[in-house]
Structure 1
Amino acid sequence: MVSARTAVFVVFALNGCALGSWAPRVPAMSTQVGAVPGSLGLALLGASVGLLVAATITGRLVERLGARLVMALSTVAAALMLAALGLATSVLWLGLTLFALGAAIGVLDVAMNVGAVFVEREAGKPLMASFHAGFSFGALAGALFAGLAASNGWSPSRQFTLAALAAILVLLTVVRALPGIKPTHRPTEKRSAVAPIKRPVLWLLATIALCSAIAEGASADWSALLLVSEHGIGEGPAALAYAAFSLAMAIARLTGGALQAKVGERPVLAGGALLAATGLLAAALISSPVIGFVGFALAGAGLAASFPVALGLAGEAGKRADGGGGEREIAFVTSVAYTGFLAGPPAIGGIAQLTSLSTSFIVVALVAALIAPATVAALRAGRRERERSYC
């Protein structure tokens, strides 16, 4: 019998696999549709818009339908859109398909994080980072498969179709164990009834997730192109840059819960931000394939805790006395974070068009460094909110 914890971990992995499967094939897709960096950035914007639009409505959707059903349906939808992505023959087609894929993944992101919060509360210990490790392992598997496919001359269509079929088959093995059936209650506590947009702590947590999303999205979408155009290596080996990023992130996330319980959120988030900024700067400034791979690995390890810890704290901020709650808070933080995916691709593409990809990644490194002060401010705001609620 598959446990709820294992089932949620698998769904996180499937989500990561979707990203890891197509992100390293951006160079091939760019050639397939005849895009230049600027138009490619606009096409990638489609996925970001889909993510953002879907995330804004998913909190209430999960409240009404339950996390299990939403996770299952959105996983199938994402798999189908991944298969359709490989058929794109124009920049417009690519952008529209990425919008649909982004929307499916956006719904899945919120639902699976709500499911993860349910499991974490039941276990009574930090588990959020380990679930996100599942995402990273999935992204790693997808990136490795993408690298293998690229090296053997497979078309994106062939690769994406096989990945989609595998995802649906894996989902069928765990769907019954997923937590979060349709709720039978509604939030009643005053604290839960406060709109997320009116809570400073959620804005600050969203800032942490936003900066992480920009840096992570840049590494996913542009790392291969950076190594191809600025470091002079082939498409197949370049695809492994995101694999290095994902592997380092996955390992860091597996140990993140224990580290968080031992030293607290502040050292984990602030220290990780500085590590990520250092790695991205190294990849951007030093023209060496080895340094490029190491830099993206450092970035993956440094960013590992940012998104999961921010979402975990958001879910805790919405917790009710009955043990439920947090759907709207997680959806709010996720929605703001996805503006990073929205603004990141065209911004990086635009900067690269005017200067170079190296300059773009210097900007991304500075964004990653902003996670440190945002962490300090968020923890202080959360402490003040808890003190007021007990008065």
Structure 2
Amino acid sequence: MVIAALANQPSAGAPARSAAISASNRANVASAAAPADAGFTDPRVYRVSPTLAVVRVPPASIAQYSTVESLRSPSKSPAAGHAIGAEGRLGVVVGRYGGRHSRSPGMDGVCMRNGGGVLGLLAPATSWGLFWGGWAALLPTLQDELGLDDGKLGLALFAVPVAAVPAMLLTGPLARRLGPRTLPLVTLGFALGTLAVAVAGSRWTFAAALLLIGATSGAIEVALNATTAAREALTGERLFHRVQAATPLAMVLAAPAVGLALHAGVSARAILVTIAVLVALSAAAAIDRRRWQEEAAEPGSARAERANGRLLIALSVVGAVGGTVLLMENTVEQWGAIHLTDNLHTGPFLASCGPAVYMAGLSAGRLLAQWRGERVGDAPLILGGGALGGLGLALAAAAWSTPTTLAGFALAGVGLAPVLPTLLAATGRAVAPSLRPQAISLVTTVSYAGFLGAPPLVGTLAGRLGLGTVLGVVALCGVVVMVGARSLRLLPAEAGPGTCDPDGASDDPGGSGGSGGSGGSGGSGEGDRAEGVRSDPPHHPRPSRRKGVAR
């Protein structure tokens, strides 16, 4: 990979400094990347071609970006270009340059100057978790205010999964069409659904509001995953673990907070209105004016159709592994407190700690995977996650004591935490940008089937075998997850990083984005070599930890 560090000079209309770019090609690269802009103050990364990235830094602040300064003088760190090219990263090149853990000030915002940075992912994930974390505490109060018996409440709640499944399937094509606008749009819909629940005054309006909640909640799950995958492709950063750690952490904090608010006399409607406002604010934070760069679909040849058939099977298998994880997860969430109450005779507080420590374990495990997951690799994360998850549930099922049972639930949370984010991230990297939203939608929807199936399946078996025995059986699903680590081999070779398109302009993957001009379609495939761009010296790319796939 050829990396260019360009310092913008508005008066001259062209960059004055360049690394890894020959003098004859500087103007070509500058015009391909973007026109000179006297007003920009943040670093920007542009994808010029599959082998060329351009980093533009304001002249006034270039000194603080030591990594860019090093790129201007590559002789100071001659090995850095090899490391960048071997990793195949784009967008975090400045942060990665100069050491594995080095990150220059302000470079987390690269490629995000038009909004929708990491905060744009964390905000919807957090607000989504706030709603569902407080939902269980709000339900008894809402039931009393609406005068619903258990049967009517159960039918109303059934509207959530009924609406969620088709919405998840439809959000993939919607995300392909709307790109980054999808997440703020569906998050705003979720805010309206929360507000509708707050003002519902009858059984029917309550059920209608829950239909909207279910549809938008399912859409958020797909849109959030698709947007995270697109951001990973654009920036090269690992984001899934960080983003998905926000939701369980928010749920753990929201449940007691809502309980305390209700105990203090705050009405359920006031709490829901507050949550709706927070969700709406998170939708605003998710606005991103850039669009995702998509590759044109290949003609529908027989070979392409066979490849799509194999991809569909691979994605379904990956989704089934994710569904196994969610089956284990929802078993703890729905039956953990009952297990502590029935088999260990704990009080309400300790019983509620079972799902709580599991969710806390999920957050901790995902943050740990964010910190060290890249060193471990995808397959080992899934193998270890399945092993720890199964061991933790087996320990909880043994019900030797309350502390050991709680420790088992926490261990299961830590173990299973990185599995689903790892599967989604691998899916996003493996497919072409034009197929990414649908692929993420399929994996998410198939996984959701395990989440939906857990309560009735465990309940039916528990009535015959006992809840402790059923938890032991569910613990064996950890073995299925471990075997499922091999499902990553079914995915195609990773598709390479996507295009960072800060100004919304379309870039041809092989050149500057036009049929003519520098690096046009006629010669874009070899434009870098033909136009005199000096590529990195030969190196041996670091093989992926997934067998047979070059990173």
TM-score tier by shorter-chain length is 0.7 to 0.9
Partner of 1:375: 485
Instruction: Report the AA paired with residue 21 of structure 1.
Output: G
Q: How has the CA–CA distance of structure 1 residues 156 and 48 changed in structure 2, closer, same or farther, with 3 Å as cutoff?
A: same
CA drift of 1:150 comes to 6.5
CA drift of 1:347 comes to 1.7
Q: How has the CA–CA distance of structure 1 residues 388 and 285 changed in structure 2, closer, same or farther, with 3 Å as cutoff?
A: closer
Instruction: Report the AA paired with residue 485 of structure 2.
Output: T
Are positions 1:330 and 2:440 aligned together?
Answer: yes
Instruction: Report the AA paired with residue 456 of structure 2.
Output: P
Q: How has the CA–CA distance of structure 1 residues 247 and 213 changed in structure 2, closer, same or farther, with 3 Å as cutoff?
A: same
Instruction: Report the AA paired with residue 318 of structure 1.
Output: V
Q: How has the CA–CA distance of structure 1 residues 303 and 372 changed in structure 2, closer, same or farther, with 3 Å as cutoff?
A: same
Partner of 2:426: 313
Report the Cα distance in structure 1 between the residues aligned to 2:471 and 2:366, rounded to whole angstroms.
23
Q: How has the CA–CA distance of structure 1 residues 307 and 26 changed in structure 2, closer, same or farther, with 3 Å as cutoff?
A: farther
Are positions 1:79 and 2:210 aligned together?
Answer: no
Partner of 1:341: 451
Q: How has the CA–CA distance of structure 1 residues 235 and 84 changed in structure 2, closer, same or farther, with 3 Å as cutoff?
A: farther
Q: Is the 8 A contact 1:276 1:303 kept in 2?
A: yes
Q: Secondary structure at the match of 1:370?
A: helix
Q: How big is each residue's C-alpha offset from its partner over 1:230-252, in whole Å with a ceiling of 9 and x where there is no partner?
A: 44344455434333222221122
Q: Secondary structure at the match of 1:239?
A: helix
| Match among 308, 316, 319 for residue 206 of structure 1 | 319
| Match among 171, 174, 187 for residue 58 of structure 1 | 171
- 1:130-209 equivalent positions in 2, closer than 5 A: 130-149=242-261, 157=269, 159-172=271-284, 174-176=285-287, 178=288, 181=291, 186-188=296-298, 194-195=307-308, 199-209=312-322
Greater mean deviation of Cα atoms: 189-198 or 269-278: 189-198
Q: Is the 8 A contact 2:430 2:493 kept in 1?
A: no
| Match among 259, 271, 275 for residue 372 of structure 2 | 259
Partner of 2:234: 122
- 1:95-110 equivalent positions in 2, closer than 5 A: 98-110=210-222
Question: Unpaired segments of 5 or more residues in structure 2?
Answer: 1-112, 496-546
Q: Is the 8 A contact 2:429 2:494 kept in 1?
A: no
Report the Cα distance in structure 1 between the residues aligned to 2:142 and 2:397, rounded to whole angstroms.
23
Q: How big is each residue's C-alpha offset from its partner over 1:259-284, in whole Å with a ceiling of 9 and x where there is no partner?
A: 33112112211111121122222323
Q: How has the CA–CA distance of structure 1 residues 258 and 362 changed in structure 2, closer, same or farther, with 3 Å as cutoff?
A: same
Q: Is the 8 A contact 1:147 1:237 kept in 2?
A: no
CA drift of 1:25 comes to 5.8
Query: Which one scores higher on RCO, CA 8 angstroms, separation ≥ 6?
Result: 1
Are positions 1:250 and 2:363 aligned together?
Answer: yes
Report the Cα distance in structure 1 between the residues aligned to 2:162 and 2:255, rounded to whole angstroms.
23
Are positions 1:35 and 2:145 aligned together?
Answer: no
Report the Cα distance in structure 2 between the residues aligned to 1:93 and 1:351, rounded to whole angstroms.
35
Q: How big is each residue's C-alpha offset from its partner over 1:203-226, in whole Å with a ceiling of 9 and x where there is no partner?
A: 221122111111222233333343
Are positions 1:366 and 2:476 aligned together?
Answer: yes
Greater mean deviation of Cα atoms: 291-300 or 54-63: 291-300
Q: Is the 8 A contact 1:129 1:305 kept in 2?
A: yes
Partner of 2:392: 279
Q: Is the 8 A contact 2:187 2:282 kept in 1?
A: no
Report the Cα distance in structure 2 between the residues aligned to 1:180 and 1:214, rounded to whole angstroms.
36
Q: Secondary structure at the match of 2:237?
A: coil
Q: Is the 8 A contact 2:195 2:273 kept in 1?
A: yes
Partner of 2:26: none
Are positions 1:14 and 2:127 aligned together?
Answer: yes
Q: Is the 8 A contact 1:24 1:224 kept in 2?
A: no
Q: How has the CA–CA distance of structure 1 residues 95 and 228 changed in structure 2, closer, same or farther, with 3 Å as cutoff?
A: farther
Report the Cα distance in structure 1 between the residues aligned to 2:227 and 2:355, rounded to whole angstroms.
27
Report the Cα distance in structure 1 between the residues aligned to 2:204 and 2:460, rounded to whole angstroms.
18
Instruction: Report the AA paired with residue 165 of structure 2.
Output: L
**RMSD between aligned residues:** 3.8
Instruction: Report the AA paired with residue 109 of structure 1.
Output: E
CA drift of 1:328 comes to 1.0
Q: Is the 8 A contact 1:130 1:255 kept in 2?
A: no
Q: How big is each residue's C-alpha offset from its partner over 1:51-98, in whole Å with a ceiling of 9 and x where there is no partner?
A: 322111111011112232x21232233234345557889999887755
Q: How has the CA–CA distance of structure 1 residues 202 and 184 changed in structure 2, closer, same or farther, with 3 Å as cutoff?
A: closer
Greater mean deviation of Cα atoms: 7-16 or 41-50: 41-50
Report the Cα distance in structure 1 between the residues aligned to 2:269 and 2:401, rounded to whole angstroms.
32
CA drift of 1:286 comes to 0.6
Q: Is the 8 A contact 1:66 1:182 kept in 2?
A: yes
Report the Cα distance in structure 2 between the residues aligned to 1:308 and 1:78, rounded to whole angstroms.
22
Partner of 2:8: none
Between the two proteins, what is the percent identity of the paired residues? Answer: 27
Question: Unpaired segments of 5 or more residues in structure 1?
Answer: none
CA drift of 1:18 comes to 2.5
Report the Cα distance in structure 2 between the residues aligned to 1:135 and 1:149, rounded to whole angstroms.
20
Q: Is the 8 A contact 1:192 1:319 kept in 2?
A: no
Q: Is the 8 A contact 1:249 1:300 kept in 2?
A: yes
CA drift of 1:346 comes to 1.9
Q: Secondary structure at the match of 1:319?
A: coil
Report the Cα distance in structure 2 between the residues aligned to 1:218 and 1:360, rounded to whole angstroms.
10
Partner of 2:104: none
| Match among 112, 125, 131 for residue 224 of structure 2 | 112
Greater mean deviation of Cα atoms: 108-117 or 131-140: 131-140
Q: Is the 8 A contact 2:172 2:441 kept in 1?
A: yes
Q: Is the 8 A contact 1:147 1:236 kept in 2?
A: no
CA drift of 1:102 comes to 2.5
- TM-score by length of structure 1 reads 0.81
Report the Cα distance in structure 2 between the residues aligned to 1:151 and 1:237, rounded to whole angstroms.
19
Report the Cα distance in structure 2 between the residues aligned to 1:275 and 1:40, rounded to whole angstroms.
36
Greater helix share, 1 or 2?
A: 1
Larger Rg: 2
Partner of 1:289: 402
Instruction: Report the AA paired with residue 328 of structure 1.
Output: Q
